[in-house]
Amino acid sequence: MDPIYVVCAIGGVAIGILLGILIRKKVAESKIGSATLQANRILEEAIRAADARKKESLLEAKAEILNARTEADADIKERRREVSRQERRIAQKEEALDKKIEGLEKKEADLYTKQEEAEAIKAKIREALDEQLGRLEKISGMTSEEAKRELLSKLDGELSHETALKLAEYEAQFREEADAKARDILSLAIQRCAADHVSEVAISVVSLPNEEMKGRIIGREGRNIRTIETLTGVELIIDDTPEVITISGFDPVRRETARLALEKLISDGRIHPARIEEMVEKAKRDVESSIKQEGDKAVFECGVHGLHIELIKLLGRLHYRTSYGQNVLRHSVEVSLLSGMIAEELGVDSAAAKRAGLLHDIGKALTAEIEGSHVQLGVDVARKYRESKEIIHAIEAHHGDVEAKSVIALIVQAADAISAARPGARRENVENYIKRLQKLEEISGEFKGVEKTFAIQAGREVRVIVKPEEISDDQMKILAHDIAKKIEGELEYPGQIKVNVIRESRYTDFAK
């Protein structure tokens, strides 16, 4: 190849490269200039925006400062007005105080003047009194001290008489109020306590399915009946009464045991000594269980807590004990409830009153086994099972064997009398009842001046009509007391008897 062509080609390539470099440089410079212009434009716009924001912020700040200044000025003006009002008020008060002070000073001056005048008048009055006192002493012939003593002596006598009259009046009033309150309390307790009526028996009756059963109960040569009587401690009466056997015995628990055993034997049909012994043991267990249940029921009914288990069992035994036709357990429950009600009305410990009332006849559960009165037996058993002294004293005093020294003991006495004396509580033989009423009228009619006597209220009250010309009003009280004492000494009766003496004068005339 021709070198010239090669050189030309190389030179052309070099020129092209150089031209490319130059063109790129120009393009780059052009781009840099454009970018610089754009950056300058952006910077200018940012500067203009910042200036606008700055101006806007300055305007907002100026507006806030102006508003704050306006509010501050308004507040200052309001405070100034308030201060002005306070100053005016204080000025007015000062003026009023000044006026009051001036008025007080004038009054003080007037009072001082009046006081001086009053002192002068007092001096004149004192002189006049001294002069009059001197004249009175000369006229009476006594000094003032002697006159004072005589006057005080007379006043003392008059006051003593008035005091005695007032004391008598108050005593009568308090006695009437106390009697009324006692009647209210007792009537309320009786009204609230509902009790059942029961009958006293010393025998129990067992029905037989047929007459043949009598012979089987008697047994060969009487061995069955002897076994029953030996094991139970009662007497079986087999007479001509059809299909009936009578159980006789003073111990109600033994009598109930024999009744249950007989009923079990009759129901079972096998009657011989070994079977009798087995049935008697079962009957004893049943009675013991019943005793415990009755005791628990009574304790629950009365709301008495913490009784010893043996005392509860003794209470249960009272379920089978009666006194003058009244079931002793029901009587004890009734006395407990009445005692609690009376104690509540009087504001004393009703729980202790209920406990004492429930246990007051506990000794009757032991009288069939141990010698002694039921009161002493009750005291002993209560002391044995660690009852409180208050409860023991109430048991001991409920029949008046010892003097009642506590409110609880007196409450139990009253509740016991209420329960025993209420109509239907205890049963009497009709003949004895009539004799007692007749005796009551006879005793009341034996006194001088008595015209007629009437036993009323089932023997709980006797009305005595006296002759007014022989018995005065003052003698009526003495007569009532004497009749009551004679009745207490000669007559036995449940509860209490009211002696009502009546004196009446009647004058009759006719208009014609």
Q: What is the pLDDT of residues 64-75, one digit of tens each?
A: 888 888 888 888
Give the CATH number of the domain where residue 316 resides: 1.10.3210
pTM, two decimal places: 0.45
Distance, CA of 216 to CA of 209 (rounded, Å): 12
Distance, CA of 420 to CA of 414 (rounded, Å): 10
Q: Is 141 helix (H, G, I), strand (E, B) or coil?
A: coil
The side-by-side arrangement of strands in the sheet containing 498-503 is 450-456, 461-466, 498-503
User: 487-497, pLDDT tens digit by residue?
Assistant: 888 887 766 78
The Cα angle at residue 134 between residues 133 and 138, in degrees rounded to 5: 115
Q: Which domain holds residue 182?
A: 142-192
The closest alpha carbon to 231, from 187, 195, 277, belongs to 277
Q: Is residue 195's pLDDT more than 60?
A: no
Indicate whether 358 and 436 sit together in one domain: no
Across the range 242-270, mean pLDDT stands at: 82
- The better pLDDT of the pair 257, 369 is held by 257
Token pair 């008059």: residue:
158
The closest alpha carbon to 214, from 183, 177, 184, 239, belongs to 239
What's the pLDDT score for residue 203? 66
Amino acid at 18: L
Query: Sign of the CA dihedral 126, 131, 136, 142?
Result: positive
* Percent of the chain topping pLDDT 90: 1
* Percent of the chain topping pLDDT 70: 86
Across the range 74-89, mean pLDDT stands at: 90
Q: Is 100 helix (H, G, I), strand (E, B) or coil?
A: helix
Lowest mean pLDDT: which of 109-118, 127-136, 272-281? 127-136
In a domain, 474, yes or no: yes
CB count in 10 Å sphere of residue 398: 27
Kindly state the tokens that stand for 240.
């001509």
What's the pLDDT score for residue 488? 86
**Cβ atoms 266, 213 nearer than 8 A:** yes
Indicate whether 267 and 366 sit together in one domain: yes
- Helix (H) or strand (E) segment spanning residue 378: helix 374-384
Kindly state the tokens that stand for 94.
């000062």
Confidence of residue 170 (pLDDT cuts 50, 70, 90): confident
**Cβ atoms 314, 381 nearer than 8 A:** yes
Token pair 């010892």: residue:
402
**Cβ atoms 456, 463 nearer than 8 A:** yes
Distance, CA of 460 to CA of 212 (rounded, Å): 51
The closest alpha carbon to 375, from 324, 409, 425, belongs to 409
Domain boundary, last residue among 375, 403, 421:
421
Indicate whether 416 and 444 sit together in one domain: no
Indicate whether 178 and 237 sit together in one domain: no
How far are the Cα atoms of 232, 240, 263, 280, 293 from residue 259, in angstroms, in the given order?
A: 10, 19, 6, 10, 19
Distance, CA of 499 to CA of 482 (rounded, Å): 10
How many domains is the chain built from?
3
Indicate whether 245 and 290 sit together in one domain: yes
The closest alpha carbon to 410, from 492, 451, 352, 332, belongs to 352
Confidence of residue 160 (pLDDT cuts 50, 70, 90): low
Indicate whether 340 and 464 sit together in one domain: no
Domain boundary, last residue among 374, 403, 421:
421
Indicate whether 275 and 355 sit together in one domain: yes
What's the pLDDT score for residue 422? 56
Confidence of residue 199 (pLDDT cuts 50, 70, 90): very low
Q: What is the DSSP string of 205-226?
A: EEE-SSTHHHHHHH-GGGHHHH
- Which residues share a beta bridge with 499? 462
The burial class, CB within 10 Å (0-12 / 13-18 / 19+), for 359 is buried
In a domain, 77, yes or no: no
Indicate whether 454 and 356 sit together in one domain: no
Distance, CA of 380 to CA of 395 (rounded, Å): 10
The DSSP code for 349 is -
Provide the mean pLDDT of the chain: 81
In a domain, 461, yes or no: yes
Indicate whether 411 and 451 sit together in one domain: no
The closest alpha carbon to 252, from 277, 278, 233, belongs to 233
Domain boundary, last residue among 396, 421, 446:
421
Query: Sign of the CA dihedral 363, 368, 372, 373?
Result: positive
Q: Which of 129-133, 160-164, 311-315, 372-376 has the highest mean pLDDT?
A: 311-315
Q: Which of 143-147, 207-211, 345-349 has the highest mean pLDDT?
A: 345-349
Q: Is residue 16's pLDDT more than 80?
A: no
Indicate whether 369 and 491 sit together in one domain: no
In a domain, 136, yes or no: no
Size (the chain), residues: 512
In a domain, 60, yes or no: no
Amino acid at 25: K
- φ and ψ at residue 325, rounded to 5 degrees: 85, 0
Across the range 3-15, mean pLDDT stands at: 75
How far are the Cα atoms of 163, 186, 334, 387, 390 from residue 406, in angstroms, in the given order?
A: 32, 18, 21, 16, 8
Kindly state the tokens that stand for 156.
């003392």
**Cβ atoms 461, 500 nearer than 8 A:** yes
In a domain, 336, yes or no: yes
In a domain, 512, yes or no: no
Kindly state the tokens that stand for 15.
């020129």
In a domain, 94, yes or no: no
Indicate whether 182 and 306 sit together in one domain: no
Q: Is residue 115's pLDDT more than 70?
A: yes
Across the range 348-369, mean pLDDT stands at: 85
Indicate whether 261 and 215 sit together in one domain: yes
Confidence of residue 211 (pLDDT cuts 50, 70, 90): confident
Q: What is the DSSP string of 428-476?
A: --HHHHHHHHHHHHHHHHTSTTEEEEEEEGGGTEEEEEE-TTTS-HHHH
Give the CATH number of the domain where residue 481 resides: 3.30.300.20
The closest alpha carbon to 191, from 337, 348, 297, belongs to 337
Q: Is 511 helix (H, G, I), strand (E, B) or coil?
A: coil
Beta-strand pair 461-466/450-456: antiparallel
